[in-house]
Amino acid sequence: MLNPQTEKFYQTLFDHIPKGELSITRVRQGFEKLMSSFPAQPDVHFEEISIGKLFAAWVHTPGCTKDRVILFLHGGGYISGTFYSHQDFIGRLAQATGCYVLAVDYRLAPEHPFPTALEDCLLAYQFLLKEKIPPANIFIAGTSAGGGLTLSLMLSLRDHHEPLPRAAICICPWVDLALTGKTLDTSAGKDILQKDRIQKAADLYLQGHNPRDPLASPLYADLKGLPPLLIQTGTRELFLDEIERFAQKAQESKVKVKLQKYEEMIHTWQLFASQIPEGQKAIAEIAAFMKTV
């Protein structure tokens, strides 16, 4: 059962979801407007840098070090979002873990379709290696599409015999762009996501490419050899079924998986930690996981 604070927040959030068909411009503007309601806390510092042509930033709070770092990949359906739209979450992640976070703005579809985002994330990971940060001190974390990219990045690294990170945190990851999950239909109306908009985002990203390509949809990949995974999902989110199937497949492939399923939580509730206690709890669980691997 939802606590009253979270229930009230849900009502406000759902009321602000735009109705009808949306242009890509309106999708991006709407996402940025929503997320601008959750600014970073005053002690969060953003040091903007360039990685080739990529815009990125080192994010940290007092007490953070580079003994371990997190490469953060934002969500937004591959068509919207920036790391600044996730600034409150990134700041809380840095504060909870004591790690510097490298947040990256990978290029978005439809202007830059698959596999551009993956190539950009690979460039960011290689930047960390060039900075002499050992792979064993690197974590990769991502929300939604960024969670899918987190997995795709590690699959690409493995397949090219590149060093893998210590572990990964997949926050409500989008792992099936073929959209075969049962909860896409059974949870309709319970989540902030909508199936028709998910389909549109997939189409804009793939632009005719096979949605079952493992580097686009990690659900269809051979998962052997991946590092430990923390996967968080909510019981109300549309991606629940595909996330559970992915976690089971990873476990069957001898990957160490910790699946955390939060009752009554919607897609990427962690981004709203300033408003709901369940978001704060999930971030604390991420920090706890990182201490165990």
Q: Which pair of structure tokens corresponds to residue 259? A: 């699946």
Alpha helices in the chain (DSSP H): 4-15, 24-35, 87-97, 116-130, 145-159, 183-186, 195-206, 240-252, 277-292
What's the CA gap between 171 and 282, in Å, rounded?
Answer: 9
Tokens of 268: 């990427």
Strand ordering across the sheet containing 45-51:
45-51, 54-60, 99-105, 65-73, 138-143, 167-171, 229-234, 257-262
- Catalytically active residues, by annotation: 144, 237, 267
Question: What is the signed CA dihedral for 268, 271, 276, 280, rounded to 10 degrees?
Answer: 100
